[in-house]
Amino acid sequence: MNELQRKEIQEAIEAADNALYYLDNARRYLGSAGNWGLLDLFGGGMLSGMIKHSKMRDAEYQIEMARDAVQRFSRELQDVSGYTSIHIDGFLTFADFFFDGFLADVIVQSKISEAKRQCDDAIRQVERIRGELISRLQERVF
C-alpha cells in the first residue's frame, strides 16, 4: 500500500468517526424526545410537550449534521479503492409535527421511533465500513 492509499483510508476513517459522532448525538436526542413524548402522550401537560418539541428540534439539527457527515464520508470512500460510496436508503427522514392532540402525539412517537431505527441502521452501516477500512489499513502494515 502506498502512502496516498494509506492517507485516503485514514481520511475515510476520520469521516466515519465524524458521521458516527453526529449519528450518536441524533440517536440520543431522539431517545430523549421519545421519552418526553411518552410523558406528553399520557398526560404530561404543556411543559412536557414543550420539552419534547425542543428535543425534537435538537434531534433534527443533529440529523442534518449527520446527513452532511455521512455525505462527506461517502465522498471520502470514493477515494478508497474498492468502495464507490455509502448509500443509506431513506436516510433519516424526520417530520416534526407541532400540533396537539392524542392522534398527533401518537404520530410523533411513531416518527421518533422510525428516526431512531434509521439512526441505528446508519450507525451499523458506518461502523461496519469503518471496521473494514481499519482492517485494510492494518493488513497492509504487517
- What pLDDT does residue 94 have? 45
CB 36 within 8 A of CB 125: no
Residue 40, all three cell numbers:
406528553
Q: What are the E-state strand segments in the chain?
A: none
Number of structural domains found in the chain: 1
- Helices in 1-101 by DSSP H: which ranges? 3-41, 46-78
- What pLDDT does residue 100 have? 46
Four-residue CA torsion sign, 14, 15, 18, 24: negative
- What pLDDT does residue 90 have? 52
Which structural domain, as residue segments, surrounds residue 59? 3-141
Positions of the chain with pLDDT under 70 = 84-105, 140-142
Residue 121, all three cell numbers:
441502521
pTM of the model as a whole? 0.77
- What pLDDT does residue 105 have? 66
CB 10 within 8 A of CB 32: no
- What pLDDT does residue 8 have? 93
